[in-house]
Amino acid sequence: MTTAPPVMKREFTMFSALSVAFAFVSPIVALYSVLGVGLASSGPGFIWGGLILYIGQLIVVLALGVLASKWADSGGIYQWSRRLLGHRYGWFASWTYICTLLITLPAVAYAGAVLIPPIFDIPAAGHQVVTWLAIGILAFSTMVNLAGRVFIKILMIAVIAAEAVGSVGVAIWLLFFERHQTLEYLSPASLADYSGVFFSAPLVMAIAFSSYFAIGFESASSIAEEVQRPKRAVPRAMVASFFAIMIIVLLSTLAFTLAVPSDAFLQDPENAADPAVAIIAASFPAPIFRGILALFVIAFAASLMTIQITVSRIVWATARNGELPFARTLTRLSGETGLPRTAVLITAVIAALLFLPFQSEGIQMALISFSSVGFFISFLFPILGWAIARARGTWRDEPGLFLGRAGRVVGWLALVWLLFQIVNVAWPRESGAGWATDWSTVIGVAVVGVLGVAIEAWVHRKRLHAASTGSTIVVFERDESEDDREDFAPARPARR
């Protein structure tokens, strides 16, 4: 039985793709999520770890940009891996990325919900209250995703405005009017002398803990089939969003670090837990403080929305190739413009259910650490697949690829960096909270891997059965000739 090819309309521009990547982990979300643990583990020199991280991640952005300029499919990481080394390899890339995104959703929602009670001057709320607030933020972002791309664009404009005031505006104010430290405070000498395991050195830990600063740029590729001129627009959107986030995060990190009144300020457990909020509270009148927190919540809601966009598109793209249970249901598009609303709803429900076992004292950092290493492993799949394809001679450079010949060198450098960073983020460092907490990231990766092997074995048996019966499990294989014509056709002369 032939099914109509599920095709989404191209209603996003390059700016839309850039906005999705920018909002995925916005500067506000990135800084608020890890500033406290970064300063606690590495001191004021934490900013140097972030700078090194951005240098390494720039190589990854450029390498993935090459793949995005070759294949403009929704669900970029899955599609690139599948095309490079086949269905089984692509499936594991998809599984890793889906699990990472689903775990990131409650982590981001919970971090954003913590900011809501202070806006209304409510004393410290318990985990149950914050969890329900987080579910409410998740429900709001889900409704925006279901409403259509116009509403998504509106929220994108809101998050850019929130960043302009909440990140850039606050950072400039702190640098000019609330600076309590000199630049010597940031000296690499502030990283304490250390003799021991390499991965427990303060600077190496700073690189690991700042990992959340530089993820999310790849989300622009998740909507490639909805973007006009995707083979040009998506790589450029990835790179542009990366530099925008880098500049704002480093500026904000510099501003907040120099605004620390004294070492005693960070020794207070309440201030150390949320130093960004504590510094804002000490620097602004109460009404302005609450307004800034409201902007923070907007940024977190937009981040949730774009994470949902990414995970729903990769679920949809994987199901379209028959690689998930209930593939035809998950592949269904609805509305005049063709939205994967079924995939959006299912991923939202799964994320909401993850609040039940995951929300407890101290779980937030474990969630962030696991999601960070999950992103790096997800990046590794296409980069490693690219390296293997080159070694086998199955990769073909084409005219118009992003970076041209320079892409060859960038791919190998990205592979080395990702291997280092995966070990660095997953390394079981002593936290004083017990071995289970120290090894939580490794345990989480192992659990996801074992589940993936079991589910993929079922999917593979399905593939073999389809091959033996002469049928196919592929729901739809997209014709990409339109991408080539759209991207490389000569520009039309302007009408007079």
User: What DSSP assignment string belongs to 196-236?
Assistant: S-GGGSHHHHHHHHGGGGG--GGGGGGGGGGBSSHHHHHHH
- Grade residue 179 by pLDDT with cuts at 50, 70 and 90: very high
| Residues 202, 192 contacting (CB under 8 angstroms) | yes
Percent of the chain with pLDDT over 90: 25
Taking residues 62-90, what's their average pLDDT? Answer: 89
| Residues 66, 293 contacting (CB under 8 angstroms) | no
- For 22-26, 117-121, 303-307, 373-377, which range has the lowest pLDDT when averaged over its residues? 22-26
User: What DSSP assignment string belongs to 384-435?
Assistant: HHHHHHHHHT-----TT-TTTTHHHHHHHHHHHHHHHHHHHHH-----SS-H
User: What DSSP assignment string belongs to 125-143?
Assistant: --HHHHHHHHHHHHHHHHH
Residue 481 pLDDT: 56
Residue 227 pLDDT: 83
Residue 4 pLDDT: 47
Task: Using DSSP, state whether 62 is helix, strand or coil.
Answer: helix
Which range of 219-223, 330-334, 453-457 scores highest in mean pLDDT? It is: 453-457
Domains of the chain in start order, with CATH, are 14-486 (1.20.1740.10)
Residue 421 pLDDT: 94
- For 78-92, 114-128, 441-455, which range has the lowest pLDDT when averaged over its residues? 114-128
What tokens were used for 235?
């790589």
Residue 486 pLDDT: 47
What tokens were used for 194?
């250390």
- Grade residue 398 by pLDDT with cuts at 50, 70 and 90: confident
Which range of 100-104, 325-329, 402-406 scores highest in mean pLDDT? It is: 100-104
Does the pTM exceed 0.85? yes
Taking residues 139-150, what's their average pLDDT? Answer: 84
- Grade residue 63 by pLDDT with cuts at 50, 70 and 90: very high
- Angle (nearest 5°) at CA 84 between 81 and 89: 50
Map tokens 């209304």 to a residue.
Answer: 120
Q: Is the pLDDT of residue 478 over 70?
A: no
Each residue of 216-275: pLDDT tens digit? 888 888 888 888 888 888 899 999 999 999 999 999 999 999 999 888 888 888 888 788
What tokens were used for 223?
């909507």
Mean pLDDT of the chain: 82
| Residues 476, 331 contacting (CB under 8 angstroms) | yes
- For 253-262, 291-300, 332-341, which range has the lowest pLDDT when averaged over its residues? 332-341
Taking residues 283-287, what's their average pLDDT? Answer: 92
| Residues 76, 218 contacting (CB under 8 angstroms) | yes
| Residues 378, 314 contacting (CB under 8 angstroms) | no
**Residue 324: closest CA among 160, 478, 100, 94:** 94
The DSSP output letter for 169 is: I
Q: Does 428 or 7 have the greater pLDDT score? A: 428
Residue 471 pLDDT: 59
Taking residues 371-389, what's their average pLDDT? Answer: 92
Q: Does 384 or 6 have the greater pLDDT score? A: 384
Task: Using DSSP, state whether 11 is helix, strand or coil.
Answer: coil
